Each structure stands twice: as C-alpha cells, then as structure tokens.
Structure 1
C-alpha cells in the first residue's frame, strides 16, 4: 500500500492527521452520551480521549488490521469537527469505513463529504475492492448517509451486539470499486 497523501481537500473540508491541538474538541464531543450512543464503550473520559488522539496522530497504514483516522476540519474555520476512519480488513481488498461528528457539525453534509473523500482514497490510491460500513440499525442518520453514498444494504444481523444494556441489530452496507467508479463518473 502506498503512503497516504495528506491533507485531503474537498469542497468544504480538510481531512488531516490528528495533532495535540485536537484534544479539547475531540473530548468535548466524545464525552457526550449522545455521541457515545452508537459507539462501542461509554462516553470517553479525558484520559481516554488523550489516548485516542495520540493513536490517531500516529497511525501506520501498511497491513491488514491497520486503520487511518482522519480529523475533519471545515475549510476556513480551523478546528476539529469530527473524524472519519478507514480500517484495512482481512481478505483481498477489503476495508471498513466509519465516522463521528461533533453535534454542531451534524446535519451539514460534512460526514457524507468526508466519507466520500475517504471512499475515493480507498478505491483510488489504496486500491481496495470493497468497502463496508457496520452500524446500529437505530442509527438512522448513518444508514441514510450510506444510501446517499451509493452503498447498498447487504445484511441485517438481528441482536448481533449486546452493549449499553441492550441488544442491537447490526446493519452492513457496502459498495464495490466498480459501483463507486460508475457513481462518480455519472
């Protein structure tokens, strides 16, 4: 796999490596129960936020199991508004994408724009064949976003996860490189 050329610029966003200046903003939204609702584990403590930002700042992406987590920043408005993640899955050309946004950044299309840029990175520069997203069936906003990105619902796993005191149904959305290419060309 080639090195990832950063930052990535979109019409309204900059996707870049995390740095120490992102800690306070990261903690501000990851410490909220509403953010943690669809993420594994509870809302993050400041210490857990420090650990996460440190890992995200120092990612290596050269083998299966590695992941890249990019900070999302609005162009012309410095500061972290969320993150988008791409994980290299086992198997030939497989990856998984995910995203989290601060409450004030939600509903503006930032997650869709950032995820689209990472899908382009994954299918282009990194050469993946298939990229999937796994989410809680109650996460309606993320399911709608997957559909806006041209991802198709491939699976519904009833009561797949037990977390936060209840069973959750997992949805698996995915898109293939040829589908992505046809979408961006058309």
Structure 2
C-alpha cells in the first residue's frame, strides 16, 4: 500500500490486476477520450501491469497507482503520474471503471495522490490535460482546485479525428492553503 484514504487503497499494480484492467479499459465509454482503443486485450493488460509495477512513485518517469476499495479488495481504476526529471513538477491523469464512477472515488483517489505529491514529495506544480469534450474529467480537475490554463484547438489527432484539449494546473501553494 502506498496511500490509504477513508474508502480506498492506492497501491502498486500486481499481475492479478490484468483481467480487471483489461475489462474496464475495454469499455468504449472509458476508452473514448483515452489513448487506447477498446477492446483492450488481456495480453496488452498483462504487459501494462508489468510496466506499471516496475515504476517508482518517487523517481522521474511514469507511475500508475492502482485504486482499490478498502472494504473489499477490488481494483476499480488507476491514477497516472508522470514525474518530471526535476522532481518538482508532474502530470496527472485518472481512469475509473464505469460501475464506480459518480461516487466520489476519483475525487478521493486523485486528491490523495495530490496530497502525496505536494506534502510528501514537495512538488511545485501538477498539471492535467483532457479532451475538451470530457466534461466529467474537466469537472474533477476544477473540483480539486486546478486552474484552467489553456484551451488548445485541434491539438491531438486521436482515433481518426482532431480534438481540442483543456490544460489544467495546480500549484503547491494553492493545494497547501488548507
């Protein structure tokens, strides 16, 4: 376990998570605004889980937190962090299985990761980016205090179309104010 909240455990991925990862990433609505296509084959999930497990949340590079329910060990999603080489900035992203959306789990998980990044690791800034059509992700960033710093028109070519991107930023001083 890396982080515990009232309802969740954020931990390193394990090999046994591959089937659940493949299942929620195979949902067309989950994959809609993400870089992968649905279906997400089990073999690809197994490779992804191995790569996730090899990362470190304290070293520059990519790390994926597995989100698990505390009451019943069940993988429900993940939080992605790319820690910059300077160890003072990061990018964050999140994915939640549809059955667990709209219950506050994503807010709780991302908030816990932000707390770790700012309070424990001493980061200066965390950014996030989402497809401009992804209202729930944009709302989550804003609910957590991120400031919309940009609207990039036709920024990303994904799944056969150009999409607009929203850029969000959160400074340590804004997060630590409370």
TM-score w.r.t. length of structure 1: 0.90
8 Å contact 1:22–1:79 — kept in the other structure?
no
1:121: which partner in 2?
A: 116
Structure 2 unmatched runs, 5+? none
2:165: which partner in 1?
A: 170
1:23: which partner in 2?
A: 18
Deviation digits for residues 60-103 of structure 1, max 9, x if unmatched? 34543x12211101111111000011111355611001100101
8 Å contact 2:128–2:168 — kept in the other structure?
yes
Does the C-alpha gap of structure 1 residues 77 and 51 become closer, same or farther in structure 2, counting only changes over 3 Å?
same
Question: Distance in 2 between the 1:106 and 1:13 partners?
Answer: 14
RMSD: 1.3
2:51 to 55, 61, 68: 55
- What SS is found at the alignment partner of 2:74? strand
Question: Distance in 2 between the 1:105 and 1:35 partners?
Answer: 12
- What SS is found at the alignment partner of 2:93? strand
Question: Distance in 1 between the 2:126 and 2:139 partners?
Answer: 17
- What SS is found at the alignment partner of 1:50? helix
Question: Distance in 1 between the 2:63 and 2:94 partners?
Answer: 12
TM-score w.r.t. length of structure 2: 0.94
79-88 or 37-46, larger mean C-alpha shift: 37-46
8 Å contact 1:156–1:171 — kept in the other structure?
yes
How many residues align? The count is 177
- What SS is found at the alignment partner of 1:81? strand
Question: Distance in 2 between the 1:84 and 1:77 partners?
Answer: 19
1:3: which partner in 2?
A: none
Structure 1 unmatched runs, 5+? 1-5
Question: Distance in 2 between the 1:92 and 1:18 partners?
Answer: 22
